[in-house]
Amino acid sequence: MRILVVNVNTTESITRSIGEQAATVASPGTEIVPLTPSFGAASVEGNYESYLAAIAVMEAVRGYPEPFDAIIQAGYGEHGREGLQELFDVPVVDITEAAASTAQFLGRTYSVVTSLDRTVPLIEDRLRLAGLSARCASVRASGLAVLDLERDPAAAVDAIAEQAARAVRDDRAEVICLGCGGMSGLAERVVHRTGVPVVDGVTAAVTIAESLVRLGLTTSKVRTYAPPRPKVMTNWPPAGVRTGQRVPA
Amino acid sequence: MRILVVNVNTTESITRSIGEQAATVASPGTEIVPLTPSFGAASVEGNYESYLAAIAVMEAVRGYPEPFDAIIQAGYGEHGREGLQELFDVPVVDITEAAASTAQFLGRTYSVVTSLDRTVPLIEDRLRLAGLSARCASVRASGLAVLDLERDPAAAVDAIAEQAARAVRDDRAEVICLGCGGMSGLAERVVHRTGVPVVDGVTAAVTIAESLVRLGLTTSKVRTYAPPRPKVMTNWPPAGVRTGQRVPA
Amino acid sequence: MRILVVNVNTTESITRSIGEQAATVASPGTEIVPLTPSFGAASVEGNYESYLAAIAVMEAVRGYPEPFDAIIQAGYGEHGREGLQELFDVPVVDITEAAASTAQFLGRTYSVVTSLDRTVPLIEDRLRLAGLSARCASVRASGLAVLDLERDPAAAVDAIAEQAARAVRDDRAEVICLGCGGMSGLAERVVHRTGVPVVDGVTAAVTIAESLVRLGLTTSKVRTYAPPRPKVMTNWPPAGVRTGQRVPA
Amino acid sequence: MRILVVNVNTTESITRSIGEQAATVASPGTEIVPLTPSFGAASVEGNYESYLAAIAVMEAVRGYPEPFDAIIQAGYGEHGREGLQELFDVPVVDITEAAASTAQFLGRTYSVVTSLDRTVPLIEDRLRLAGLSARCASVRASGLAVLDLERDPAAAVDAIAEQAARAVRDDRAEVICLGCGGMSGLAERVVHRTGVPVVDGVTAAVTIAESLVRLGLTTSKVRTYAPPRPKVMTNWPPAGVRTGQRVPA
Amino acid sequence: MRILVVNVNTTESITRSIGEQAATVASPGTEIVPLTPSFGAASVEGNYESYLAAIAVMEAVRGYPEPFDAIIQAGYGEHGREGLQELFDVPVVDITEAAASTAQFLGRTYSVVTSLDRTVPLIEDRLRLAGLSARCASVRASGLAVLDLERDPAAAVDAIAEQAARAVRDDRAEVICLGCGGMSGLAERVVHRTGVPVVDGVTAAVTIAESLVRLGLTTSKVRTYAPPRPKVMTNWPPAGVRTGQRVPA
Amino acid sequence: MRILVVNVNTTESITRSIGEQAATVASPGTEIVPLTPSFGAASVEGNYESYLAAIAVMEAVRGYPEPFDAIIQAGYGEHGREGLQELFDVPVVDITEAAASTAQFLGRTYSVVTSLDRTVPLIEDRLRLAGLSARCASVRASGLAVLDLERDPAAAVDAIAEQAARAVRDDRAEVICLGCGGMSGLAERVVHRTGVPVVDGVTAAVTIAESLVRLGLTTSKVRTYAPPRPKVMTNWPPAGVRTGQRVPA
């Protein structure tokens, strides 16, 4: 099976790192295809950039020329998952929801440790809409920007472990979710520092996407995620955007 | 004062109708500037189109060359309001929230009557995130597409009044919100048919935007709506998109 | 248009100050009529006094001899708004709800800073019933009694700014509502001290009341706020209470 | 022990009937003292009348010249309980809450059957503030006014049993609460018609009030129900209102 | 009337102490029958032990040879109450719910102070399912194991009073519930130390059980608590378990 | 890897059918070990039987003599999962939660179709505690007992499809979960009849258990699911119960 893993940032090194992380848990026979959107911000840290990424991710997938079996949106707390579910039949897995769903099997409550304080509200909103906030003890910020996480993994581990420890002690979290695609690969080191299970959204999403495909399940098309109706589109997609598919009718 | 009223659809006749409706309640001295996005769907009826409209609306406002005092996003249940709040300091009023906030001063509960069944979940999600769902009795679909509403206002009034009456009787609604920018102008006729107050989001939003400006209030920049951080942007905005401003640093 | 602004306290200087504050944002052509109830407590700071004020405010409005277009109940967290909505057709705006509704357009969350600790539960209850608590980060007490606020505005600003700063930092509030009619007029100075938008309920209520009137909207009479049924009344209103109108049949 | 059972209506025959019903379950040694407020509506069926009753009930209790051990507010869904808790140390039991608390020990969910449709929102609000709505399946109206219930008990039983049966079948209620002080005494006949436990608020309240007294428990005075602060009161209580006690300082 | 008070622990001295505590508030004519389960843990402090206790309590009651009028499950936050309600018609009162229901009549919010930190989640879950969590300010652990509470009541009072004081100050609790059957008898000393009402679940449950019996109310059998259907049972009850009754058909 | 799949009923044919269903999706290298509890009811349809099954399942797993990597509790809406999580370190997956978690990736809302009406409350409670009820549109009963499902699969498909269709149309469900271990194997036929994705809890649980093992994740032991403390156990496990392990200290 082939799983598209789409970065929300336009920074290729993050795409590469996400792809490598995804590959570590992929089953034999699963092909992980990491994609970088063709437009948008180098790092997504707020609503404007996230809305832009939502569209860029959709166009990246629409432009992918080969068949595929599932889509992973590899951004934490980002907009756009519902659009992908309208455009495609195959399962769509958002790493925010993948991590939370997985964490809920391991402890009574979980906390998310993310990058900047300003991304906390985005994550909280996504979890609420996804019906996954009842057991969320807190969403905490490490204070590190997305690109800082990449540049200095050791400092990232320190900052994340510090907030994770507070989440366990003060917020009564029992599991920690790494709340940023760019944190992929740090889980093991955070476990060492906190003593509780640490869930990485990217690897969790790979196992969930594979599971849905193995179960033969696809997105329900009965109402919310029905394909877009045929429409007159103005100036979209713009020239230069890498895409070949039409909006399904 | 100048208020930008941005349509989410690329259909200019809807923009014109929204603008005319807005002007009916504007105070002397208030200039209503209706804007059509330069790209996107002729009518927005689902998540893919709504996410695209979110970005198109932001670019339309960024491309507007004159100063302005407030922004109205004239789409019901659409994505994007938070992005506008990040990009600009002036108050941003979404008509979904304007209608609900207004309705809550008039009755204990309100229902929304919208266009197609598939837009119901979008409206419900927006109201939930806006903290305005506790008094929402129901969101009901008239079954008419956005462009149908425009083509046949008499049929639209019938279909809306039918659902409004059911909302009052079965869902115990006490106020009705017209849940589609394209319904602007039909309120009075629906009142005649239902006997309860009917709130039009566009006119409600104009009075709220004016109120916020008169009170000297602007968007809080302390966390969620802080301006985007300076970023390397790839391929955005695309050539041909009507915009001149940079993302604020 | 004429708007009655009814104090809940029997202290006339508070009525005067509320009226002056209301006038600062009233549109040309709007007449602000400040009213003091003819019975009750000099300052309302608890349930017994608030229930008494509820009735006193209703009687004050019933006794007002001229026509009017809207009613503002200028007490924060007080009982009685639903009774006014039953008795009259014109819009009724409670300043607790006006402030919260307005704050929600400006930031993702808001906190209220009120007078005494014992009034916190009343405000929380009112916000919950009004469906406005989902985005309320906290209700905090300055520790100052209502009459102290009036006597020493500088100390009031200090105490309010202190709690406002904690609300922003510890409770993640993005907007502050001044939670006491007697705080009217202090908003600007609190803004200076906190850097976030500060909403005064009285001025917010004036713009909302004007908006509802301009939109031609009145209270829904379909169920909750239907006029009282004709009733045999015993010993009410008492001799000496300033009122001339009968309970509508 | 002496328990004051205060009617919210000024109709003495209702007071008498409530008192008789209360007496049927009082323990040996418990004296039931039924009180009628000295002012207000013959029957309370809405917010204006309920706010007036809130004050009238408080004054009735303040005017009672002998010591007492507990207070029962015998109105369903009425305002005022918090005021009584401020004014007095002895336990205060509202029959709305007494019925719901009792019902929760008997079945997973309960429904309330009340008099008129317009009183449904009042009951819902009271249950929500009391933290007793999570297991409330529905509040249904029999369509009978308070005084009709008294005049024609047979018709009342029919109308109540009809709604009770629907609550069990359609709303999945497992217990029925009789939602009106005036329904006191009909429980047994409704049980016969529905096959589920039927809770009468007045008798439930008597057993709860006795229980609290036997347990030596009194109202917490630490915050919400602290005694009113000493205040200058204007024109209250009015001449002719039967009361002798001062607001405690 | 005869009330069975069933300990969840197999430690007989706790049963004795619970029984003595229950007897202090029982009415003349009420016989308190304390029961110890015939199998399970000496002290119940977690889910495995609690599930085992659930079954052991049911078997203990099924094995009781005489008629009885009500059952009190005297464990705080334990599983099993619903099973008892299926097996028997008489009222079943869980002390967790008895304490919370009682506390809600005395203050706006309550906190529970329990034994070990690990029992906090069990209590929270029980309160949530019982619809009694809306007014629960917090559940706090004293850090003392169940058997420690018994061994050193003075230390227990200290540890409980410390957490109770924090609950009042930091969590805004207005009433304290003693969250462990083994704390029965300490209430008075904790009141002395905190100044707020303190509710003991065992004595509260006795008054509630008596009340339900006096009101002639029994468990609703319409759905959730219908008697178990006739079933083929394998190896249950085991030889040596003290029980004589069959599962009702 | 070895996964224990534990039936809650003592009927071996159900165990066999669950095991076969589980095996259809197990990865190469995964060994499915179906277990039948050694005591309890032939079919579990209510709280008493479910509490008994909770203990029987725990003892069945404790008595299993070989190492294993994960546990699936194959009962829908049953008690006991938290106990397993205390007793063992390996991941524990309840099929109720597995189905709901999986469904949430496929549609905005899901409904559960179960066996008897009396099991609806158990499922609702489990989903609420698991934080998975926000997107649950409804839990509906087919009216068929567990053993009937086994005896007449064609009738079962009819009854389930009928309720599934109503859930989609009336409750706005977008995905259906088969709410009974005994329905395993019917999913495909229900899909044919409803046109929406149908999730079988047993197969969903297998993929989730495998995923957790592949991710190297185990149950958090920091608080709620810490191992039971060393305890004096009375008369447990009973002679004849097939078990060899001690409660871990």
> What would the pLDDT profile of E20-48 be if each residue is shown by its tens digit?
999 999 999 999 999 999 999 999 999 99
Give, in degrees to the nearest 5, the angle at Cα F170 between F166 and F173: 80
CB proximity E248 to F under 8 Å: no
**Least CB–CB distance from C238: residue in D82, D87, D241:** D241
Contacts of D97 in chain E (CB under 8 A): 104-105
Backbone angle region of D88, left / alpha / beta, with phi > 0 → left and psi within -120 to 50 → alpha: beta
CA distance linking residue B97 with residue F224, whole number of Å: 40
Chains D and E touch (3+ CB pairs under 8 A): yes
Asked if the model's pLDDT at residue D246 lies above 70, the reply is no
Helix ranges (DSSP H) in F107-244: 120-129, 146-151, 153-170, 187-194, 201-214
CA distance C90 to chain D (A): 16
SS3 call for E172: coil
Residue B238 tokens, joined: 């695309």
CB proximity A239 to B under 8 Å: yes
CA distance linking residue C32 with residue C7, whole number of Å: 13
Q: Do C231 and D41 touch (CB under 8 A)?
A: yes
Confidence of residue E241 (pLDDT cuts 50, 70, 90): low
Residue A27 tokens, joined: 């089953």
- The string of pLDDT tens digits covering residues E93-139 is 999 999 999 999 999 999 999 999 999 999 999 999 999 999 999 99
CA distance linking residue F95 with residue F78, whole number of Å: 9
Q: Report domain extents, chain E.
A: 2-94+204-214, 96-201
Spell out a b/e string for F165-186, using b for 16 or more CB atoms within 10 Å of the CB, else e. Answer: bebbeebbbbbbbbbbbbbbbb
Asked if the model's pLDDT at residue F168 lies above 50, the reply is yes
Confidence of residue D107 (pLDDT cuts 50, 70, 90): very high
CA distance A191 to chain B (A): 30
Confidence of residue F99 (pLDDT cuts 50, 70, 90): very high
Amino acid at A131: G
Chains B and C touch (3+ CB pairs under 8 A): yes
What is the Rg, in whole angstroms, of the alpha carbon atoms belonging to chain D?
A: 17
E139: which residues sit within 8 A by CB, 6+ positions away?
Answer: E111, E112, E114, E120, E123, E124, E127, E179
Q: Do D228 and C46 touch (CB under 8 A)?
A: yes
CA distance linking residue F40 with residue A223, whole number of Å: 43
- The string of pLDDT tens digits covering residues C9-40 is 999 999 999 999 999 999 999 999 999 999 99
CA distance linking residue B110 with residue B87, whole number of Å: 31
Confidence of residue D229 (pLDDT cuts 50, 70, 90): very high
Contacts of D236 in chain C (CB under 8 A): 39-40, 52
CB proximity C207 to B under 8 Å: yes
> Which of E43, E231, E242, E247 to mutate: most F Cβ within 10 Å?
E231
CA distance B228 to chain C (A): 16
Average pLDDT over residues A18-42: 97
Cβ(B206)–Cβ(B2) under 8 Å?
no
CB proximity C9 to D under 8 Å: no
Confidence of residue A240 (pLDDT cuts 50, 70, 90): low
Asked if the model's pLDDT at residue C239 lies above 90, the reply is no
CB proximity F87 to E under 8 Å: yes
Least confident of C129-143, D117-131, D202-216, E150-164: E150-164
CA distance linking residue B133 with residue C228, whole number of Å: 28
Confidence of residue D242 (pLDDT cuts 50, 70, 90): low
CA atoms within 13 A on the CB side of A147: 13
Pairs across A and F, CB distance < 8 A? 135
Asked if the model's pLDDT at residue F247 lies above 80, the reply is no
Q: Do C234 and D82 touch (CB under 8 A)?
A: no
More confident residue, C153 or D110: D110
Neighbouring chains of E at 3+ CB pairs under 8 Å are D, F
What pLDDT is attached to residue C106?
A: 98
Contacts of F41 in chain E (CB under 8 A): 228, 231-234
What pLDDT is attached to residue D249?
A: 40
Q: Do C145 and D231 touch (CB under 8 A)?
A: no
- The string of pLDDT tens digits covering residues A84-142 is 999 999 999 999 999 999 999 999 999 999 999 999 999 999 999 999 999 999 999 99
Contacts of C226 in chain B (CB under 8 A): none
Q: Is E192 exposed, middle or buried (0-12, 13-18, 19+ CB in 10 A)?
A: exposed
Residue D109 tokens, joined: 């969910």
Least confident of B4-18, C208-222, E171-185, F157-171: E171-185
Residue C92 tokens, joined: 């009724």
CA distance linking residue F107 with residue A223, whole number of Å: 9
Cβ(F178)–Cβ(F152) under 8 Å?
no
Amino acid at A59: E
CA distance B162 to chain C (A): 17
What pLDDT is attached to residue C29?
A: 95
Q: Do D234 and C129 touch (CB under 8 A)?
A: no
- The string of pLDDT tens digits covering residues F26-41 is 999 999 999 999 999 9
User: What are the φ/ψ torsions at residue B17 (nearest 5 degrees)?
Assistant: -65, -40
CA distance linking residue E13 with residue B183, whole number of Å: 73
Give, in degrees to the nearest 5, the angle at Cα D27 between D25 and D29: 140
CB proximity D51 to C under 8 Å: yes
User: What are the φ/ψ torsions at residue A233 (nearest 5 degrees)?
Assistant: -105, 135
Cβ(B114)–Cβ(B140) under 8 Å?
yes
CA distance A27 to chain F (A): 9
Residue B175 tokens, joined: 């106020």
Average pLDDT over residues C74-93: 98
CA atoms within 13 A on the CB side of D106: 29
SS3 call for C79: coil
CB proximity A208 to F under 8 Å: yes
CATH dotted code for A96-201: 3.40.50.12500
Whether omega before C238 lies within 30 degrees of 0, making that bond cis, reads no
Rounded mean pLDDT of chain E? Answer: 94
- The string of pLDDT tens digits covering residues F172-190 is 999 999 998 778 778 888 9
Rounded mean pLDDT of chain A? Answer: 94
Average pLDDT over residues F193-198: 93
- The string of pLDDT tens digits covering residues D56-65 is 999 999 999 9
CB proximity F23 to A under 8 Å: no
pLDDT-flagged residues of chain B (< 70): 240-249
What pLDDT is attached to residue D206?
A: 98
- Classify domain F2-94+204-214 by CATH architecture: 3-Layer(aba) Sandwich (3.40)
Confidence of residue C242 (pLDDT cuts 50, 70, 90): low
Inter-axis angle of helices F12-25 and F201-214, to 10 degrees?
50
- The string of pLDDT tens digits covering residues F14-70 is 999 999 999 999 999 999 999 999 999 999 999 999 999 999 999 999 999 999 999
CA distance linking residue E66 with residue E76, whole number of Å: 26
Q: Do A107 and F225 touch (CB under 8 A)?
A: yes
Domain D2-94+204-214 identical in fold to domain D96-201 = yes
Residues facing residue C111 across a β-bridge: C138, C176
CA distance linking residue D105 with residue E91, whole number of Å: 7
Average pLDDT over residues D66-78: 97
Cβ(B126)–Cβ(B96) under 8 Å?
yes
- The string of pLDDT tens digits covering residues A203-238 is 999 999 999 999 999 999 999 999 999 999 999 988
Percent of chain C's residues with pLDDT above 90: 86
For the beta carbon of residue F232, count every other beta carbon within 10 angstroms. Answer: 10
CB proximity C23 to B under 8 Å: no
Inter-CA distances, B150 with A204, B176, B185, D121, Å = 46, 20, 10, 37
Nearest partner of E176 among E136, E127, E120, judged by Cα: E136
CA distance linking residue D98 with residue B30, whole number of Å: 56
Residue A59 tokens, joined: 């166009």
CB proximity C124 to D under 8 Å: no
Secondary-structure class of domain C96-200 per CATH: alpha beta
Percent of chain F's residues with pLDDT above 90: 86
CB proximity C13 to B under 8 Å: no
Q: Do C226 and D38 touch (CB under 8 A)?
A: no
Residue D182 tokens, joined: 């005036």
A48: which residues sit within 8 A by CB, 6+ positions away?
Answer: B58, B83, B86, B87, B228, B247
Residues facing residue A234 across a β-bridge: B40
CA distance linking residue A242 with residue A230, whole number of Å: 21
CA atoms within 13 A on the CB side of B225: 28
**Least CB–CB distance from A174: residue in F92, F104, F223:** F223
Inter-CA distances, E210 with B40, D20, D26, E68, Å = 69, 21, 12, 12
CB proximity F192 to A under 8 Å: no
Inter-CA distances, B69 with A215, B33, B213, Å = 53, 11, 7
B206: which residues sit within 8 A by CB, 6+ positions away?
Answer: B3, B5, B22, B25, B26, B30, B32, B72
